[in-house]
Structures are given as C-alpha cells and as structure tokens.
Chain A
Amino acid sequence: MDVTKYKRQIPKGNGKPVLIDGARTPFVKSFGVFEDCDALELYSRTIDGLLRRLALDPQELDEVSCGVVVPQTKNANVARDAILNLGLPPHIHGVTLNRACTSSMQTIADAARSIAFGNPDLILAGGVECLSDVPIVYSTEARKFLVRLSKAKSAAAKLNLLKDFSAKAWLPKPPSLSEPLTGFTMGEHAEMMAKLNRVSREDQDKFAVESHKKAAAAQESGFFDAEIIPIWAAPKYENCVDKDNIIRRDTSVEAMRELKPAFDRRYGTLTAANSSALTDGAAVTLIADEARAKSLGLKPKARIKDVIFVAVNPYEQLLIGPAIAIPQILKRNGLTVNDVDRYEIHEAFAAQVLSCVYSMESDEFMDRYFGTKSLGRFPMDRVNVNGGAIAIGHPFGATGARLAMSLSNELIRSDKQFGLIAICAAGAMAGAMLIERCN
C-alpha cells in the first residue's frame, strides 16, 4: 500500500474539534451473543462500519484511539491492531488507554486537544469492552513457578522446582472489580453512597424503570439505528445482532421490588435491576478538525467545546465525581445549569446518579467544593432522555463514545444547542464534556 500521507501538503485546519458521526455495536449482556468474540473483533467491525457509513477514504485518517478497561494481553493495543487487522493504511497510528469508565471520553478529549493544538487531524476515538473475553490470571506463585521452570536448564533443576509446587497456587484468580486502594467493589461503594445521600430503594427503582422506558421508546423510534452497526458474531456467524438486548420495555417498579439487594444483603438498596449490567460492546466516533472535515465533504454533528477530568478522595464517595465535574465545566464556560439543553449523566448505578444530583442540589456539598450555594433544582427532564446505561448497558471502555455520539444525535433530533456528558469512573474520578450542535 502506497503511503501518500507525507507526500502531500499538510492540510489546513481551524483548530476547532468537531464530532462528525459515530457508530457502535449493539450493546449486549456479557457471556451472551458475543461470548466468543474479543475486543479486537468488536472494535475492528465498528471502525469498518463507521468508515463505510461515512464513505471516508481511510487514507485521510491520522489516528485510531481506543479505551479499554479490562484489557487482554493478546491485543494490548487494540487500536493499532484493529488498523492492521482491517488492512487500513499502515500510516494510521493507534493508541489504547485506560481511564476506567471515562476511557473513551479520554480518547475523544485527546483527539480534541490535538486538534486544538493545531493538528488538523482526523481521529477515530472510541472504546471497547468485551467482558465475555475477560483475562483469567494465575496467582503470583504460579506465575513465578512457570518462569523458573522455563529458565531451568537441566532435568534435575526442573525436578528440583517441584518441591515448591503447590496445587492451590494453580487455581486461577477471577478478575475482581474492586478498587485496589479501598478493597470495596463499585457496587459496595455505590451502596455506601446511597446510604450517605439517603437515596431510597423506591427512587432508585423508579429511576431504573424510567431508564428502561426511555431507552425502549428510543429503540422503537429507530433512534439507535443511526448508531448501530450490525454484527455477525464469530465463530458461527449465525445471528445478525443489530439491537441492544438489555433494554426491557415491560419492566416496572413492582417487578423490581422483588429483587434482593446485591451488595449489602441486610440493609442494602442496590439490586441487579437498578445497577448497570456487565456488557459487551464497542463504540467509536470520528473527531476532526472542522475546516479539514468540511474540505473532505464531511458534515459535523457537534462541536466539542470543553472537556475536564476531576478526582476526589476514594474514601469519601467513590463515584461522586460528576457532582464536581458538572459545576466545574459549567463554571469554566460561563453557563448555568439551565443553559444546557441535554445532559447525559452516566448510569453506573441509579444510586450513584441520584447521589450526584442530590449533591449538586445541596448547599453543603456545593459550599465544600465550590464555596457557592447549590445549583438549584437540577433539570431532571433533560437528563438521559433516551435512557442510560442501566437499560442500554455499560461496556466500560465504550461508554464515553456512545454518550458523545448519542448526545450529538439527540441535539439534532430535538433541535437544541448545548449538551453535557458526565461520567464517573473507578479511582474516584470523573470526566465531563460540553458539546454544541453544529448548524
């Protein structure tokens, strides 16, 4: 393949990052229809699907980036591997990164910053998670034994190693989603937040039901069809998967009430139904310099105005970050909470979203972080109008890119101007992104 990138004139840009369009796989329950897939395959198909939809000459692409939270060692840099796997021009470089659930918000942020820095780039930024293909690791003892065995030269030395052999060490360690520095899982942290912010079970279940109802309505109206690339899943390729499969249109608060708490059996309020499920899926957006995009005949959907990331003390409230990121990004851009037309607040848990909202509505919380009064009543009718991760699913690495594309589409659909995305992340972090619809 001829490399033409460096021969031609450096394209002209205007330094304004825009989102052209996005694509994603259907989001499906892990250990289901994508059971035999891996992250590379899902991400490759999504990239290919977006390129074909946009009829974009891959020679124009500069970079592919990808967020993955639970990576497989076999494709540690999924982004670069996808380029080569698809046979795309080899000059396209690729990076894979991990900022927990804000990973693909980070890839979009990186793309936007590079463009704002003056590189008139065309970057595919997104993420993927295939928890069906989660890496199972051996214990440290087992690993050490294997390494020593491979280094042992003689048969005697090999035999000698056997005296240290412990059968127990060979039990594989299932991956844990607990915080390395607190020892609690995400769910346990969210459970603590529910108690701290007095978020009732009833409110959580109501919130979850709403999420499903809104998502089901969006699904039926065909809103997601503009995003989804149909996937034929390896190795049998029997079914063409073209719909999200976690959304339940017929769920109800009554039905959810029956469920047992998942993280605190005795006093807990979080259940499988008001939490997001383990999900497989990939999402990617095309982020471009506005002037370059126009010269290529690409029509931008939204402008990326600002991105910020924040972090708090994990011992406080692990997933409270959005309550800081949202006021902060509003402040930076001179906007009030009501100036934003549409919010996408990532739904890791209903309790976590509501905790963030309650906090922003709290004088005490806002005073502690910003030295101001509360934001006032948060406009909940503008939040997650097409449902959220509780209904649609949450493939960790892909969520940021899904929200960016979905919110861009929503601003066009509802003919609104500003959209704001906030996502909480492990490590007591969060990110927020402000976008504006392009005319």
Chain B
Amino acid sequence: MAQHFRIEREIGNVAVVVFDRQDKEVNTLSEKPLRELNDIIDSFAGDTSLEGVVFISGKRDFIVGADIGEIATMATAEAAADGARQCSKIFQKIADLKVPTVAAIHGQCLGGGLELTLACTWRIATADSKTKLGLPEIQLGLIPGAGGTQRLPRLVGIQTALDLILTGKRLTGKKAEKVGLVDAVVPEQLLREQAIRFATQKRPAHRRLPELSPGKLAADLPKWATEGNPIGRKLIQKKAKEMVEEKTKGFYPASFKALEAVFEGYETSLPKGLELEATLFGQLAVTRESKSLVHLFHATTALKKHRFKGAARERFGKKKVETIGVVGAGFMGAGIATVCADRGISVMYSDPNKESLGRALKHSRDYFKKKLEKRRIKPFELSQRMNHLSPALDPRGFQFADVVVEAVFEDLKLKQKLLAQVEAVAGEDFIFASNTSALPIKDIASAAKRPERVIGMHFFSPVEKMPLLEVVVTDQTAAWVADRTIELGMDMGKQVIVVKDGPGFYTTRALSFYLNEASTMLLEGAPIEAIDRALTEFGFPVGPITLIDEVGIDVGMHVLETISKAFPDRMVTPKGLQPVADSGRLGRKNNKGFYVYENGKKGRPDPAIYELMGIQKSDGKLGADEIVDRCLLLFVNESVRCLEDGILATAYDGDVGAVFGLGFPPFWGGPFKYVDLIGPKTVVERLRGLADKYGARFQPAPLLVKHAEGAQKFFPDEA
C-alpha cells in the first residue's frame, strides 16, 4: 500500500498518480517514496488496459528536489553514485512505459523533480508565477544525478541546458515553453484535465535537437549550425569551459563536472551518458565544496525559523510591514528604500537635505531603469515602484510607518536626537531600527522613552546587492519587535541573522580583527598586492586592503578604533595607518586609497603608501599561507568568541553572516564549518603557533580548545 502516492483512475483508463508525501509538507524525493514509485511503475508495465499516465502533485509545489539530508549521509563516492543510479533507473522505467506519460507541473519543480518530468512523454506547466522549473544542484556543489545532464540537452539543446545546469536558474512555465522544456502552458484550474487529454496522445516522433522546423528557422538555424555537428559542439565546449573558469575561478569543481557530463554524454548513448552522470555525481557528493554548500543550505533553512518567530502574531495577526520611514537619504538610506519599494513596501523619507533626496530618488530610478532594460519589470512597474518612495524634508506622516529605519552617519548624539523626534510623532506600533554598523544599540536606546522598540538593522552596502541583514537585539528589545523586524528583512529578500548587541555586533567585530591583521602585516612591510592576492586566492571576492578602500579609509579606521577600544587586549590598531588617513585618502570614494583609481576603476597599488607609513616594502618575506592563516584564523577565532559571548546564538548565524555579509568563501562553509572541516585540533595548533610568533592575540578561544580536546564538532549532524 503506497503511503506517499495515490492512484486515481480516470475514465478512459488514464492513471493519475498523485504525489503527496504523508510525512512532509513538501514533496521531496527520497528512498521511501522512490521505492513506492518504482513499484507503481512496475505495476503499470503489465497493465494492458492502461492508456496513459499523469504525474501530478497533491501539494502546493510539484517536487522541490531530492532529499538533501539523504545525500549528505552517503559516505562514499560509490554510495552516492549508486543512489543516483537507482533513481535514474526508476525514471528510465517511466520513459520505457508503452503508454504516454504526462508531468502536470504546478509550483516548484526542481532538481530530481524536473528530472522525473524529463523522463515523461509530455510536460505541461501552469502559467502561475509560482511555477518554477530548474536544476539547482550546482548551488549545492553537485550536478543533476538522475538524467538532468543527459535528457535536458537532448530535449532543449546544449546551450539552453548548460544555462540551466550551470546557474541553477529557475524558469516560469511560459519561459520553459519558449525554450522547449514544456509542451504546453495552461491555467492552473485546467491543469489536471489538460494533462489527461495529453495522456492519450502519442508523441509524433522522437525529437532530438537540433531539428530544423520550417516555422522556427530563425531560432533553429544557429542551433543547428553550432550544436548540430561535433565541430560546433567542440567549439561550444571550449567556450563554456573558459566561461566556467572565469566565473568559478576554479573554486567549484561541480561546474567542470557538469560540462563533462553534458558534452561527453551528448556524444554517446543515453544509458552510457546516465552512467557517466551518476559516477560524476558520486564524486562530487563527497567533496568539501559540496559539503560546505549543503551546510549553507541547512544553515539558511534553519535560520528562516528564527527564535522570535510568531512573537508579533498576537499584536499584528497576519499584517505585515507595509510602510517604513527612512531617516537619512544617503547611499544606505537610498538602498534600503529601493529594496523596499521593489518589494511593494511604501517608503517615507525624512531628510532636510533636498539634494540628498534628489540623489536618492535618482539612485532608485536608475536601479529600476536597469531592471526595466533587462525586462525584469514593465514600465508601469517602474512607475509604481518610484511612487512607493515618498520624499519629504521632515518626518511628517511617520505615524503610519510600521518601522522607522535611521541611516544617518555614525554619530550617537544625532541618532539619539532622531529617535526622540520619531518617538514624538510615531504611532502605537512603531519600531525604531538603526542601521549602524558599530554603535551599540543599547547606547542609542538609552535615551529612548520606549527602549523595547529599538533594534539594529545592519545592512551591507550596496543594499540592493548584498544579501545579508544583521538584526541586532538588546536585552530590552521586545520579542515582537524582533520578530517583525526579521520578517521585514526576509520580505526585503535578505538573509537574516539575529545577533546580540555588543561592540561591532558579529560581522563588524569579526571583520575588524581580519582587517586589522591585514593592516598589521602591511606595516610589517608585506606588499599590498601580496596580502590581497593571498586572500583572493583563498577564495575571498576581494582582498582585505581593497576592502578597506571600498569601505572608505576614514570609515574603516573609525570602526577599527571602536573595536580595538572594546577589545584592547586582543586588538591594537597599528599607528602607521593614521598618516595614510591624514593624507586625505578616503579610498574609492575620492579615488585615492591604498590603490590608484582612474575614473572609478581600480588600478595598481599606490607605491607612495609605504613612504607614508614610514616603512620599506619587503617583498616575499611573508608567504601566502601565513598571510591567509593570520587573517583567516583571527577571523575564525573571533567568530568562536562571539559564540562564547552569546553575540551569536548559533554557529549557523556565524557561518551565514560571514559568507553572505563578509565574503567568506562559500566553499569553506563559513568560519565554524571551516573548523569542522580542517579539524579543531589543527586550528588550535596553528593558532598557538601564530601566538608564539606574533603575540597573544592569536591565543585560541576557550571553546575552540574545548572542541579540540573533545574532538567536538560545531555541526555534529552534518557529514
């Protein structure tokens, strides 16, 4: 008796197989339902009365993919490959059925779910915007393992398939129809009846691209010229490899395996291709990169269920934040407002400076204009978004702002004054959120009439691009305030971590130690480019010295001093930095920093820096490994201290914050996963080695020592 599937026979002997997992809210593919599916297909094979089969979901989504937890338990490459092989075999049985099979797709149809549909005769999808088809395996450091790299190129062509496999992008039903992935797009209400209609129709002939059809010559001809012959395919392969090398900088093996699976598989038979795919999948499943990415998937999923969830429900029911006030229309304020307007949240500005408001509106319009040009939005949507932005010189109307975000410069007195102003006009349910990156929230709240309404919303610049939001709660912050703020952050499309108030919270604190160490090495004479190169080669998107230029030397110095004051025994800001700041260098923003900038483009390191700091450049004395260790291990060590101090509630917060906010290499999973992967013992040993050489700031955090002694892991449940 099937638990996860229902079979409903329709008139005309069409079997409708409804996938509806009894143990989960969403349909995922794991061992048990796959076994059931296998038995169902076997029973169909012998059923001569059967005219067709429809696969449809009993849930909101079709199938969201394979069970990731199950993949993680596969200890060896062979076991993982075998899992993929099993799944592939079942799908092949679907393909081998003598009757037409139809995948009736509504909602998300991802990974293994899409691979199942690829084995069907027909795919029809709903026109609903929730319907998304894609192969996101690459985002977990994997490749599709159940036919995706084989059947998809044969169906839609190599280039379209690569686009989906290498990026993990998701297509709407309409787009999927356009590229040939689905055969029809239907209104949601008609999905089942249309699927049944398709189930009695034979597919005319085996279709394998590139075919030339008279009606679509313009689209087919270039495809035929490139993909239609082995020489063309070699050319595409070369180009694709170059592109992957450039995009991944060689850090992500899955992209290369994906190319291998697609191109090698295309030149051979389907069974051989499927076998190759399973083998490559197996190899990837046990890589450190994949484990790190899967870890991040678990981390982000876990953080969605934050510890304040539901706390605002009693007060607000289902009512979400609809209007925010933004005090200060500078670059950050404009970014926050833009993201809100983009998500349909109305924004009331308050800034006495007319020019700032003008620039902020221009900033938003430019952003939406680009989206319009890329056809992400329509002209009326641009107008709608712009009209969600209300400029004004004062906080009038803030009575109806659910949340007021202040984004003025880092001046405690000013922030306190603004808070008092907002409190004077604000309504019953207001929240005051400060977008400070380092000032303690409790200091801002100290002058508040209702300190329980004060919270930190630390966004990263540029807000439109940076995915992280660090929500900072004080001991006084009310739970409903935290809940509502976090939900607002998620509605803004941000990955939210919740941290406790303290100097530099989590991200600024960890980053400060990292940047400070880079500066220290610079003053020891290590060349700018050597420091930056060492860390970009480790996997950071930019090196620490470049990052100081990006943040602004003035801002960076201010933050380093604030943090070093809070942790004087572990951090001393090198004195030699001051002359650099005093020379009028602000970094990228005034085209003068550690690097030379021309027309906003970064050039070479400025040789004048060493003289300014009064030192000699000493090339090559410090090895790249040592540079990485000093910066990275200090980062890791401080992250662990944040967990000890309770700044971080969980190690998940730390890893997500570091990866999404600070550019920590995702293929290392974050500072805590890094410790698990390298082993706490090794980390402690290396820290102690550095402490002997450079001083007590490298002394490992007690929790790290404890982990080393007990061979404990931060994430014991993960492979």
Contact = CB atoms under 8 A, between A and B. Distances in A.
Interface of A: 1-2, 40-41, 44-45, 48-49, 51-53, 55, 57-58, 82, 84-87, 230, 232, 234-240
Contacts of B224: none
A232 B396 CA distance: 17
B354 A240 contact: yes
Given A86-B346, A235-B365, A2 B318 contact: yes
A55 B354 contact: no
B286 interface: no
Contacts of A87: 322-323, 344-346, 384, 387-388
B597 interface: no
Interface string B379-390: 000011011101
B354 A44 contact: no
Given A85-B384, A86-B387, A232-B361, A53 B354 contact: no
Nearest to A40: B383
Contacts of B601: none
Given A52-B348, A55-B400, A85-B384, A240 B365 contact: no
Nearest to B362: A237
7 contacts: A2-B317, A52-B396, A82-B387, A87-B345, A232-B357, A232-B361, A237-B365
A52 B389 CA distance: 12
B322 A1 contact: yes
Interface in B354-371: 354, 357-359, 361-362, 365, 369
Contacts of B319: 2
A322 B353 CA distance: 44
B569 to A, nearest CB: 50
Given A40-B383, A237-B359, A48 B390 contact: yes
A6 B362 CA distance: 39
Contacts of A237: 357-359, 361-362, 365
Contacts of B396: 52-53, 55
Nearest to B391: A232
A86 B359 CA distance: 20
Nearest to A242: B354
Contacts of B365: 234-235, 237
Contact of B400 (A1, A40, A58, A86): A58
A54 B317 CA distance: 27
A30 to B, nearest CB: 20
B399 interface: yes
Contact of A53 (B322, B383, B397): B397
A336 B97 CA distance: 95
B571 to A, nearest CB: 43
Contacts of B390: 45, 48-49, 52
Contacts of A86: 346, 387-388
A87 B345 CA distance: 8
Nearest to B384: A85
Interface in B386-422: 386-388, 390-393, 396-397, 399-400
Contacts of B369: 235
A232 B369 CA distance: 17
Contacts of A53: 396-397
A230 B393 contact: yes
Contacts of B322: 1, 87
Contacts of B354: 230, 232, 240
Contact of B386 (A58, A230, A234, A238): A234
A270 to B, nearest CB: 38
A84 B344 CA distance: 11
Nearest to B425: A55
A7 to B, nearest CB: 12
A84 B357 contact: no
Contacts of B386: 41, 234
A2 B317 CA distance: 10
Nearest to B400: A57
B344 A240 contact: no
A235 B531 CA distance: 43
B399 A84 contact: no
A234 B391 CA distance: 13
Interface string B78-95: 000000000000000000
A238 B362 CA distance: 8
Given A239-B358, A240-B358, 15 more contacts: A44-B387, A45-B387, A52-B396, A53-B396, A53-B397, A84-B384, A85-B383, A87-B323, A232-B358, A235-B362, A235-B365, A236-B358, A236-B362, A238-B358, A240-B357
B297 to A, nearest CB: 33
A53 B354 CA distance: 18
Contacts of B346: 86-87
Nearest to A82: B387
B230 to A, nearest CB: 38
Interface in B186-233: none
Contacts of A236: 358, 362
Top 10 nearest A-B pairs by Cβ distance?
Answer: A52-B397, A240-B354, A237-B361, A85-B387, A237-B358, A87-B346, A237-B362, A55-B399, A44-B387, A48-B390
